[in-house]
Amino acid sequence: MTETGDDLLAEHAERIAVCAFAGIQRAFPNYEEKPLEKFKVFFGCYDWHSSVHSHFLLFRLLDLGLLSETLALQLRGHFKQTLTKENLSVEAETIPAYEVPYGCAWVLKLFAQLRRRVVPRAPSAEALDAAAVEKAAAAGDNEKKRFWELCADVVSNGEALESRALALMVQWAQNLRAPDRTGLHDNTAFGLFMCQEYLKVWERVGGEVKIDLGRGEIDGSFVNEAARRLFRSELLDQSSVCPGACDFLPPALMETALMARVLDISEFQEWFCRIGGGSESNSKQSHGDRTSTPCEWLCWVPVWGDPEDPGGSHLIGLNFSRAWLLLVLANHQHACAALGGSSSWGTGDTPGQAAVLGLDSGVQKGTEQMEKGKSKERETEVESTVQLTEMGGGGESRGKTLRGEHVGERGVRLDFENSPVMEQCRRTGLEHVRASLPLTACGGWMGDHWTGTFALLALEELSCIYAKGKQLIE
């Protein structure tokens, strides 16, 4: 029987949630000397940003309905007591300077999750989608109704925190003169990627983001502007593909996932061809055995991490990040085509690396299907399929999975069995997830306080690419 992201999510959700719930209530050990005096909500999980994204993790698992009734009741009660307007306003005033961009990016991810159940343009006190609530109540789904009401309350209570985090991220993006390309918290592509996921939620519900920085309003285009300015003409530093001792993000893969969302199809293909390892100019950037090319990402093997060690635990997260981002690319039409297409890898009579790996024919077949379908725009709702999407990572634009979530719009159907690149992405991603899952919520505090969130990101993308049906939709 094939194991899917849904299977693994269902199997491990409760265990991961119990660990995260304990973590957000545990003040020590902590990066801060006196966290309970400084922070009213995000004092747990060793550091501020881990507490923030653990809250995101718990809200996401509640939304997916994967937790036991007892745990769900405990979580809702805890959040109602702690996520008050007073407490969240204090958090807005005390955001640590070192949490820009990483911690603020997770604040936006948390509010993106909350706003999935909220209509943003309505007055904050009545932001809950009344029609959806009434429908849930009529169906006797009081648990869902109470959860949506909680989301609306937290969005209203946290308005100052959300606005402050967004303003800090805009200032950060506008002031960048060069990107941070490490595999750690300050990674520029990660910060911009998370900002875009937040903005996508507003776009989905028809909202418009306006940020007032005291010198006139700006809109959500700051992400695309910064990404193009910092990465459009830059070649990937291929040495950054090889993990450092404390990396939890793969920098080159992170940049590629960002640019796949920022650039249009033709721009991305041109950019990806230049950074793909086939050109002479890029080969001059090689760093011996530290050099890797994007096609080789498909053949990565998992790394080993230590849940008891601060730096070693990062490698547990690196496995999850690799899986998450590989699957983000596989779930993105022109990124997947570029990842497998031989034109990205070979020059002249030299065969592309996709061909060397035996991936060419299936990808070419899928690409031809995409081209044929470009002129056709149609509404699609297909059960037991997954959505190739520009959201990913828990975004709304995904097809029906085993959980029955549906946001699918339009696109071209691809035969999963004839798409070896997607299959290889799934296999590589699954191998990395399996390597790190046993080390998540296992009792090693340096890993337990944060790795569950990255497990969720990877598992959701895995369930998106491979559900019961063997079809892919763009």
DSSP bridge pairs for 21: none
Looking at per-residue pLDDT, the higher value among 422 and 242 belongs to: 422
Q: Within this chain, do residues 338 and 368 fall inside the same structural domain, yes or no?
A: yes
What pTM does this model have?
A: 0.80
Q: Which amino acid is at 398?
A: R
Q: What amino acid is encoded at 112 in this protein?
A: A
Give per-residue pLDDT as tens, 230-263.
998 766 655 545 678 899 999 989 999 999 999 9
Mean pLDDT of 194-216: 78
Can you give the pLDDT at residue 461?
A: 92
pLDDT for the residue 220 = 81
pLDDT band at 170 (very low <50, low <70, confident <90, very high): very high
User: Is 209 found in the same domain as 265?
Assistant: no
Looking at the structure, do residues 211 and 263 belong to the same domain, yes or no? Answer: no
Q: Comparing 57-71, 73-87, 261-275, 346-360, which segment has the lowest mean pLDDT? A: 346-360
Beta bridge partners of 348: none
DSSP-based helix, strand, coil % in the chain, nearest 5: 60, 5, 40
- The answer on pLDDT for 217 being more than 50 is yes
Task: Report the C-alpha gap between 455 and 321 in whole angstroms.
Answer: 8
Q: Which of helix, strand or coil describes residue 212?
A: strand
pLDDT > 90 fraction of the chain, expressed in percent and rounded: 51
Q: Does one domain contain both 254 and 191?
A: no
pLDDT confidence tier of residue 413, bands split at 50, 70 and 90: very low
| Residue 256, H or E segment | helix 251-262
pLDDT value at position 127? 43
Helix (H) or strand (E) holding 355: helix 353-356
Mean pLDDT of all residues in 57-77: 96
Q: pLDDT band at residue 375, thresholds of 50, 70 and 90?
A: very low
The pLDDT, as a whole number, for residue 428 is 92
In this predicted structure, the answer to whether residue 105 has a pLDDT above a threshold of 50 is: yes
Q: Supply the pLDDT for residue 139.
A: 55
- Specify the pLDDT at position 216: 63
| Tokens 């285009």 -> residue | 221
Share of the chain above pLDDT 70, in %: 66
Report the distance separating Cα 241 and Cα 367, nearest Å.
27
* Structure confidence at residue 40 (pLDDT): 96
Residue 354 pLDDT more than 60? no
413: phi then psi, degrees, rounded to nearest 5: -85, 135
Task: Please give the pLDDT value at position 307.
Answer: 95
Domain boundary among 198, 231, 264: 231
The DSSP 8-state label assigned to residue 67 in this structure reads: S
Paired tokens of 294: 């994007």
Under 8 Å between Cβ of 338 and 272: yes
Q: Do 161 and 310 sit in the same domain of this protein?
A: no
Q: Specify whether 376 is located in the same domain as 290.
A: yes
Model pLDDT for residues 25-37, shown as the tens digit of each residue: 999 988 888 999 9
Same domain, 272 and 203: no
Residue 446 sits in the same domain as residue 378: yes
At residue 358 the predicted structure's pLDDT band, cuts being 50, 70 and 90, is: very low
Number of structural domains the chain divides into: 2
pLDDT beyond 80 at 457 = yes
Per the structure, the complete domain to which residue 320 belongs is given by: 235-474
Integer angstrom CA distances of residue 235 from 14, 51, 90, 353, 400: 42, 35, 42, 19, 37
Largest CA distance in the chain: 66
Instruction: Return the structure tokens found at 177.
Output: 């003169």
Band the pLDDT of 94: cuts 50, 70, 90: very high
Under the banding of pLDDT at 50, 70 and 90, the label for residue 160 is: very high
| C-alpha distance from residue 368 to each of 20, 374, 413 (Å) | 45, 10, 11
- Its sign, for the CA torsion 179, 185, 189, 191, is negative
Q: What is the dihedral of CA 352, 357, 359, 364, to 10 degrees?
A: 10
The residue with greater pLDDT, 65 or 380, is 65
For residues 13 and 388, give the distance between their C-alpha atoms in angstroms, rounded to a whole number: 24
Q: Do residues 118 and 42 share a domain?
A: yes
Report the alpha-carbon distance of residue 276 to residue 272 in Å, rounded.
Answer: 6
**184 plus 299 within the same structural domain:** no
Could you say which DSSP state residue 408 is in? -
Question: 308 and 406: one domain?
Answer: yes
Q: Give the pLDDT score at 130.
A: 53
Position 8 pLDDT exceeds 60: yes
109-159 pLDDT, tens digit each: 999 999 988 754 444 434 445 555 555 555 557 888 899 999 999 999 999
Same domain, 193 and 319: no
Strand partners, 386: 472
Which run of H or of E encompasses 472?
strand 471-473
Q: Would you state the pLDDT for residue 352?
A: 39
DSSP 413: E
pLDDT at 20 over 80: yes
Region of residue 275 (left: phi > 0; alpha: psi -120 to 50; beta: else): alpha
Domain boundary at 208, 231, 254, which? Answer: 231
Q: Is the model more confident about 3 or about 403?
A: 3
> Is the pLDDT confidence value at 361 over 50?
no
Mean pLDDT taken over the chain: 76
Tell me the residue length of the chain: 474
Q: Which of 231, 266, 297 is the last residue of a domain?
A: 231
Whether the pLDDT of residue 414 is over 50: the answer is: no
